[in-house]
Structure 1
Amino acid sequence: MTLLTLGANAPVPAGDLSVLIRHGSLSGAEIDVSAFLVTSAEKVRSDADMCFYGQPSVADGAVTLAGSGNGETRFAVAPSRIPAGVEKVIFTATIHENRATFGQLADIGVDVSGVQGQIPCAGMTETALILAELYLRNGAWKVRIVGQGFNGGLPALATHLGVEIADPAPAPASPPASTAPTPAPNTVNLSKVSLTKQNNAVNLKKDDGRFGKVRINLNWNQKTKKKGFFSRGSSGIDLDVGAFIETHDGKRDVVQALGNAFGDFSRPPYVKLLGDDRTGAVSDGEWLEINGDKWSEIKRVLVYAFIYEGVPNWQETDGVIRILVPGQPEIEVRMNEFGDRRAMCAVARLENDGGQVRVTREVTFHTGQRDMDEAYGWGFRWSAGRK
């Protein structure tokens, strides 16, 4: 198999495409991979043409961020749905908050439906890279490996490609008499909020109280143990996400894979678990969805993670919960600060605070659901369950 080198191009298969970026990982730093739909001027038509963690699907699904984890990021591209006027789809990688440089990686691999390329990174001092571009030439789509680097991370790269960035407003010395202006609707918020022991809560506000589809992702270090010389079989950890939910009428419910209690998005409890990854093969982990348009009917949600199989050691799992609310900064809570051996971790509380969503970091450990229930006073009746 021939790997495309920097500047090389090749045709890609006809039809829908899968794009896999193998970027590896950096100690203490996050790598974000994004895609931009650009015109002949190498600029987006609007901020709606940027596909990234805060906007995972663009152009009616023409480009979708399909998942990330274990040092890889995947996109799904439907060339037939790419709008007229868009001449390229540019794939980029950036280091969150410029906490490292790409020179700490050996290389980055690009795979577009089997057409592969490689970008050597040794010696790079940049924190942002244009990796590759899909472009239409003589009626056929091709991929070119670019490897262009520059500094400034995702905000600088997005601005370079024509995206208007909403700068976070500084906190006022005293509460203003009137509500501070919010960013214009055509700006993109690239910020992330990491809840820690010192800064453990954040409030999210929408004037109409409708928050859209709130997506909660659990991901972890899905290490595998090889079972043979050529085997890829695994005996890793099965880490599950779940939630306790209480609506304003006092009804309480549990959503989790254990007991096949997958919930419901359109009806109470307005929380749904999207399947159950038993093998660790799904690179973007497990997902809960909350119907944020029904937030007025929800009183509180307790999000937790549970080690269903494998030896409990939270520090080794490097687990993280990400809370994605449309139009709001991504919120993350990490569970790797402790080497606790109890299988249950209460990760975060989402509470209805006068119509706002107040997210509070918990990261407390328990022997199981019953123990966690007693600690937080939910009052469920528990019996043995299985998946």
Structure 2
Amino acid sequence: MTTLAMGANAPLSSLTFELDVLLPQGSQIDVTALQLYADGKVRGDGDMCFFNQTTIGGGAVSLTTRADRQSFAFDLGKVGRDVEKIAVNATLEGGAFSSVRDVKIVTSDGIEMPVDTTGRSEAALILCEIYRRNDQWKIRNVSQGFNGGLQALAEHFGVEVAAPASPAPAPKRSSVPSTPKPSVNLSKVSLTKKESTISLKKDDGKFGRIRVNLNWNQKPKPGGFFGMGKRSIDLDLGAFVEFQTGEKGVVQALGNSFGDLNNLPFTQLMGDDRSGTSADGEWLEINGDAWSQFRRVLIFAFIYEGVANWQETDGVIRMMVPGQPEIEVRMNELSTNRKDGMCAVALLENNNNQIRVSREVRFFNGHEQVDNAYGWGLAWRAGRK
């Protein structure tokens, strides 16, 4: 492992590699990667890889988000010849980076870059840059503070940030139509105890493919005889669904009830990550074009194996609805009962064919307790995957 101090650089041994930004548990940090040209700016929205645009350049840069890290996959062979460097940045939601410890960057080809946040008053950092010198790609530990948050950082590098929608002024007769500049939507909503709901609206009530992601801290925990063994956490993602007709059901890995996206229950679990080693966790999809048939959907996470401490899972649910801001709910509270292996995370309700999303983060001993609390009225028996 090669360690790069602030300002140091090293050649990259491969055009394809991964870069992990390791984050402290529970931190509210977003990372971005920006393709920059000779003027040090981007040329359009397609040069910014972040939570609302996770792949750019036809796969040149891709982002995956996990509970304890955010990772970029690079294929530098796909980067345009006029791109001079790629800047990797981090922005903090509220506060300054002096409050954050143990941020570190590690690449798959053996380069490690510690990020010193001591005394940092800024809410944004330029972590590192990947650049080209004489046809050789290199990486440099920058660790430079930047005043302002994600929007200020993006605008500094030339990104046009989408403004909130507002009525357009009436055009003047003499005006010449202008070509709008490309822009990115930096909107992301974190549902908390204080701000616990959001309403999503579409005129036709059709929301397209709604994607729900569960991710968590997959580090193995000591276990077994005298703590000699290690056990990974296995979290499962699932959903209780109820329709306007009164039909009800559960979509989950237990009992192989993976669902169906094009027919009832219009909800499908896209696999089951037993080990927690999948880079992007578990995914569940909802057919939002059939939303008028739904009454409500309760998204839950279930500890199938591993720790019973929800804070140790560092779990997070992310919901992506086309044309809407990404919604995030963190399972970062402490359950009062060590036997509570289930968390009701978010409730989606049909409100006049619009979607009302509510943060729940309520802990239960199992499926039947959740059913009783939310009144689904299903019959339960023990099951295994």
TM-score (norm 1): 0.82
Q: Which sits farther off after the overlay, 366-375 or 184-193?
A: 184-193
Q: CA deviation at 1:180?
A: 5.4
Q: Which residue of 2 aligns with 1:345?
A: 343
Counterpart in the other structure of 1:11: 11
The amino acid of 1:258's aligned partner reads: L
Q: Is structure 2 residue 87 aligned with structure 1 residue 90?
A: yes
- Give the TM-score normalised by structure 2: 0.83
Write the mapping of 1:62-101 to structure 2, written as runs, cut at 5 A: 62-70=60-68, 72-83=69-80, 85-97=82-94, 99-101=95-97
Q: How does 1:366-377 map to 2 (within 5 A)?
A: 366-377=364-375
Give the whole-Å Cα distance in 1 for the aligned partners of 2:300 and 2:120: 39
Match of 2:357 among 344, 356, 359: 359
1:286 alignment partner in structure 2: 282
**For residues 129-164 of structure 1, what are the alpha-carbon distances to aligned partners after superposition, in whole Å with 9 as ceiling and x for unaligned?**
111222233334322222221121212111111122
Which residue, out of 249, 252, 270, partners 1:253?
249
1:234 counterpart SS class: strand
1:270-293 Cα deviation digits (max 9, x unpaired): 323233233344465432222334
Tell me which amino acid in the other structure corresponds to 2:32: S
CA distance 1:232–1:270, shift in 2 (3 Å): farther
CA shift at 1:104, angstroms? 4.0
Could you tell me how far 1:260 is from its partner in structure 2?
2.0
Matched with 2:172 is: none
Aligned in 2, Cα 1:350/1:104: closer, same or farther, shift over 3 Å?
A: closer
Backbone CA RMSD of aligned residues: 3.1
The more displaced of 266-275 and 355-364 is 266-275
Contact 2:222–2:230 under 8 Å retained in 1: yes
Give ranges in structure 2 of 5+ residues lacking alignment.
169-179
Please tell me whether the aligned partners of residues 189 and 327 of structure 1 are also in contact (alpha carbons under 8 angstroms).
no
CA 292–101 in structure 1, closer or farther in 2 if over 3 Å, else same: same
Unaligned runs of 5+ in 1: 170-178
Q: Deviations over 1:217-251 (max 9, x none)?
A: 223444543369xx995235432210022355654
Question: Number of matched residues?
Answer: 370
Residue 214 of structure 1 is matched in structure 2 by: 210
CA distance in 2, matches of 1:313, 1:6: 36
Match of 2:20 in 1: 20
Q: 1:283 to 1:76 in 2, by over 3 A?
A: closer
SS in 2 for 1:259: helix
Q: Which letter maps to 2:24?
A: S
2-side partners of 1:242 and 1:185: how far apart? 40
Which one-letter code corresponds to 1:62 in the other structure?
A: A
1:8 aligned partner, one-letter code: A
Give 1:316 shift.
4.6
Could you say which residue in structure 1 is the equivalent of 2:161? 165
**CA distance in 1: counterparts of 2:181 and 2:297, whole angstroms:** 28
Say yes or no: does 1:56 pair with 2:45: no
Quick check: 1:203–1:358 contact (8 Å CA) kept in 2? yes
CA spacing shift, 1:106–1:347, aligned 2, 3 Å? closer
126 and 364 in structure 1: CA distance in 2 versus 1, 3 angstrom threshold: closer
Letter in 2 for 1:2: T
* One-letter identity of the residue aligned with 1:150: F
CA contact (8 A) 1:312 1:340 kept: no
Quote how far apart the aligned CAs of 1:113 are: 3.1
2:142 is the alignment partner of 1:152: no
Separation in structure 2 between the aligned mates of residue 384 and residue 355 of structure 1, nearest angstrom: 35
Q: Is the 8 A contact 2:35 2:42 kept in 1?
A: yes
- Does the 8 A contact of 1:271 with 1:291 survive in 2? yes
Deviation at 1:386, TM superposition (A): 0.3
Please give the secondary structure, in 1, of the residue aligned with 2:46: helix
How many Å separate the matches in 1 of 2:350 and 2:81?
A: 43
